[in-house]
Each structure stands twice: as C-alpha cells, then as structure tokens.
C-alpha cells in the first residue's frame, strides 16, 4: 500500500456486520482507510459512520449517510454472495 502500514480504526464499530463489500485498499486514501473520510466522496466532516464494507485484511470501510444510501449499504442490503468493489 504505497509503503505505508494499514491500521484499522479500533474505536469504530459497524452498524451492520453482515455486509460483504470488499474494497481494494490501494484505491483508498490514508484517511479513507482509517475511517476519517468517506470511502466514496472523501467527505471528512462529519466523520463517516455508516459501515460500507471491509478491506481484504478485515479493516472496516465507512461512508457518509448520503453515499451509504447511494451504494445500498445498511440493514437488509447485504447481497447473498460477496461483492467486490474497486475504484
């Protein structure tokens, strides 16, 4: 990952852990990987709280309310099979 180590945000908890979207960490910025910016639109304030998916190493990926609604993240929106997303 461009020579940087990945550290999961330990204080953040997803609303719905059944989501199976997998994001490529190479396509995310450092702030997005840490949960400090929306994984879709890069918004940093308010801090994204909606669980969008995870990276292959198990770190959670978060997004703002508007982007989470657009990508279909939330209770009952999990597909019946893993879906892989990359940018």
Range of the domain at 35: 21-79
CA distance 80 to 69: 19
> Residue range 4-11: average pLDDT?
50
Query: Per-residue DSSP letters for 21-69?
Result: EEE-GGGS-HHHHHTSS-TTT---SSPP-EEEEE-TTS-EEEE-HHHHH
- Domain assignment present for residue 37? The answer is yes
pLDDT of 85 reads 60
What is the gyration radius of the CA atoms in the chain, in angstroms? 12
Asked if the structure places residue 53 within a domain, the reply is: yes
Instruction: Determine the pLDDT at residue 70.
Output: 86
- pLDDT higher than 90, residue 29: yes
How many structural domains does the chain have? 1
CA angle 82/53/42 to nearest 5° reads 135
């Amino acid at each position: 990952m461009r020579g940087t180590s990945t550290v999961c945000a330990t204080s953040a908890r997803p609303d719905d852990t059944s989501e199976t979207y997998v994001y490529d960490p190479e396509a995310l910025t450092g702030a997005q990987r840490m949960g400090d910016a929306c994984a879709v639109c890069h918004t940093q304030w308010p801090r994204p709280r909606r669980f969008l998916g995870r990276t292959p190493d198990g770190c959670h990926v978060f997004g703002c309310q508007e982007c989470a609604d657009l990508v279909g993240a939330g209770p009952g929106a999990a597909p019946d099979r893993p879906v892989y997303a990359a940018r």
